[in-house]
């Protein structure tokens, strides 16, 4: 299983950068999801990360294909209402493209359109989607049975809910609040990493 840290768009560029640098050795990827930041701020953040030992292969840019291309970041993640996966793969075939989905049907469609992986959620109740009922983990079973691309789970993933995600055979988990809302990102991320890689 892979561990993806997803930024929470609630902190300064400096604060986010420091947290990512602190956890860079215990995560597989970090998704830069800073919707309220300007392009210049996102570029500054990525430059700072690259200059401080974060490998570009570990960085995923949310939505901003332009930034990914200009910064030579190999992976872009498309929200459900972003650019069509098929269009991005046609224009930039070498780009690794991930896609957010909220149902099995959308996951199947994303794979057919050329997505390299999907991020399914939200699996459990989460503060970032307050008031929205979770989609549950049942669709993950179907996705793992019928899709050939990696399937990652997001939304309300905690140390308590992690075992059920492992049970369905997801290829990894994406975690936001547990990592970025804490003052001790390294220790919690290391705990997650150990829990993910610990065999039953």
Q: Using the predicted structure, report yes or no on whether residue 176 has a pLDDT greater than 60.
A: yes
Q: 3-class SS at 119?
A: strand
Residue spans of the domains in the chain: they are: 2-197
What does the alpha-carbon distance between residue 80 and residue 154 come to, in Å, rounded to a whole number?
A: 14
pLDDT at 198: 78
Q: What is the pLDDT of residue 128?
A: 66
Confidence band of 125 (pLDDT split at 50, 70, 90)? confident
Q: What is the average pLDDT across 115-130?
A: 86
On the question of a cis peptide bond just before residue 51, with omega within 30 degrees of 0, the verdict is no
Distance from C-alpha of 168 to C-alpha of 191, rounded to nearest angstrom: 21
DSSP string, 130-176: TTSPP--SHHHHHHHHH--S-EEEESS--TTTHHHHHHTT-SEEEES
Predicted confidence (pLDDT) per residue in 104-119, tens digit: 999 999 999 999 999 9
CA 117 to chain centre: 10
Write out the two tokens for 62: 């949310």
Give the H or E element holding residue 185: helix 185-197
Q: Is the pLDDT of residue 199 over 80?
A: no
- pLDDT digits over 47-71, tens only? 999 999 999 999 999 999 999 999 9
Render pLDDT for 18-41 as a digit per residue (tens, 0 to 9): 999 999 999 999 999 999 999 999
**What is the CA angle 178-182-185, rounded to 5?**
80
How does residue 126 score in pLDDT terms, banded at 50, 70 and 90?
confident
Structure tokens at 192: 């997650």
Q: pLDDT tens digit string along 62-106?
A: 999 999 999 999 999 999 899 999 999 999 999 999 999 999 999
Q: Which pLDDT belongs to residue 90? A: 97
CATH of segment(s) 2-197: 3.20.20.70
Name the band, by pLDDT with cuts 50, 70 and 90, for residue 129.
low
Alpha carbon 79 to chain centroid, angstroms: 11
How far apart CA 158 and CA 86 sit, in angstroms, is 33
Can 122 be counted among the known catalytic residues?
Answer: yes
Q: 81, 102, 122, 197: which one is catalytic?
A: 122
Mean residue pLDDT across the chain: 95
Percent of the chain with pLDDT over 90: 90
Closest CA to 111 of 93, 99, 123, 96: 99
Cβ 107 vs Cβ 143: under 8 Å: yes
């Amino acid at each position: 299983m892979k561990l993806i840290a997803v930024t929470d768009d609630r902190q300064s560029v400096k604060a986010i950068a420091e947290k990512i640098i602190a956890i860079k050795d215990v995560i597989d990827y970090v998704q830069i999801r800073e919707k309220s930041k300007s392009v210049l701020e996102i570029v500054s953040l990525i430059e700072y990360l690259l200059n401080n030992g974060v490998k570009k292969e570990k960085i995923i840019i949310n939505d901003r294909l332009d930034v990914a291309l200009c910064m030579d970041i190999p992976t872009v993640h498309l929200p459900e209402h972003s650019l069509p996966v098929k269009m991005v793969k046609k224009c930039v075939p070498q780009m690794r493209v991930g896609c957010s989905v909220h149902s099995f049907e959308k996951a199947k469609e994303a794979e057919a359109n050329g997505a390299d992986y999907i991020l399914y959620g939200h699996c459990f109740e989460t503060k970032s989607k307050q008031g929205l009922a979770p989609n549950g983990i049942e669709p993950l079973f179907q996705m793992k049975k019928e899709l050939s691309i990696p399937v990652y789970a997001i939304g309300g993933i905690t140390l308590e809910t992690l075992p059920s995600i492992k049970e369905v055979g997801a290829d990894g988990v994406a975690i936001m609040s547990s990592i970025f809302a804490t003052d001790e990102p390294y220790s919690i991320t290391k705990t997650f990493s150990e829990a993910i890689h610990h065999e039953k």
